[in-house]
Structure 1
């Protein structure tokens, strides 16, 4: 599971460029700590190359007011809620790290190191009442995550973004990939 992530243009030149691309196209993504249902920056397919847009994080849930923010990558192709989206509308969440909580409710920030490095998370989106909404994919945790939580985001390298968005075969194979090792930093309790 991934319940929150960071999008910090002032801390990371690559995220600043992504943020500026969104602004240039008339979008205004939230910055800082991103919560479920926030309007966040996403990388999606364009006509000839990827582009940056914003959309709400979370599909409508089964109950009124509920949001589904994560989908298990291992079953996404079989689940009616996600199957068409993962086949036709894949996206990427540009982040500067994500948060997870252990069973004791201690909050941890994850990234490649202790700085606000760019971390890309695989996702998909769909239209609900004409409005695009997105979910990010999770997978089984690796050694760097398992002591904190039993799921982790499906993380892409920068060079895998185009393949994830445009190449169906790559996407189907990638969902079972081994995730990179990450560093965790304890954060003050919420």
Structure 2
């Protein structure tokens, strides 16, 4: 599950993501080092007029209430997701994401090893309140290393257009797969990231792992 991340600012998004149109609201987004559900983020869409970098809220409303921040790849043909898979595909660019490990809830930060933005497969839904986005998850690669049993579906740059333009569901689902081993780097971070009220670049700085009870003596 991907439930927290680092959002680039609008200037970085506009420079790094090839788009024919950039929403003015995206251009003024600040960096968010503790992006959480319901926060705004930039998403890349495509239509007949070209590629558009738009503002969306993280979390797709569920029919029975609440929001879905992730969509499992093995459920994309189900009733909640199949229309969005056909008409609402998007790319969610992030600098990185956090996951928590074990009973100690040790937070880890994951990013691309080459320093580029993570281009995550996403789905969007438009309603009267605007655009809502969810991140597609898949089986974990070795880079996740047992920290979690799912990971965001990472698209390489040459996969972006097929994901945005594709029409064959089988082909689209083939794009959603674990990232090749070595794509991601990771390190442990401090517990301040556990509260969405905390923000700032210090949240992604490496810290020593949380000690277990037996290691305290």
TM-score under structure 1 length normalisation: 0.85
C-alpha change, 1:46 and 1:108, in structure 2 (3 Å) is: same
Does 2:5 align with 1:42?
no
Ranges in structure 1 where 5+ consecutive residues have no aligned partner: none
Does 2:23 align with 1:25?
yes
The answer on whether the counterparts of 1:99 and 1:108 sit within 8 Å (CA) in structure 2 is yes
Q: CA deviation at 1:171?
A: 1.2
TM-score under structure 2 length normalisation: 0.75
Where 1:168 maps in the other structure, the secondary structure is coil
Tell me how large the CA RMSD over aligned residues is. 2.6
The answer on whether the counterparts of 2:72 and 2:138 sit within 8 Å (CA) in structure 1 is yes
The answer on whether the counterparts of 1:97 and 1:116 sit within 8 Å (CA) in structure 2 is no
Q: CA deviation at 1:9?
A: 3.8
The answer on whether the counterparts of 1:30 and 1:40 sit within 8 Å (CA) in structure 2 is no
Distance in 2 between residues matched to 1:122 and 1:20, nearest whole Å: 16
Render the CA deviation track for 1:90-142: whole Å, top value 9, x for unaligned: 000011111111122111111122x7521100011112335221111000111
The answer on whether the counterparts of 1:56 and 1:134 sit within 8 Å (CA) in structure 2 is yes
C-alpha change, 1:85 and 1:24, in structure 2 (3 Å) is: closer
C-alpha change, 1:156 and 1:98, in structure 2 (3 Å) is: same
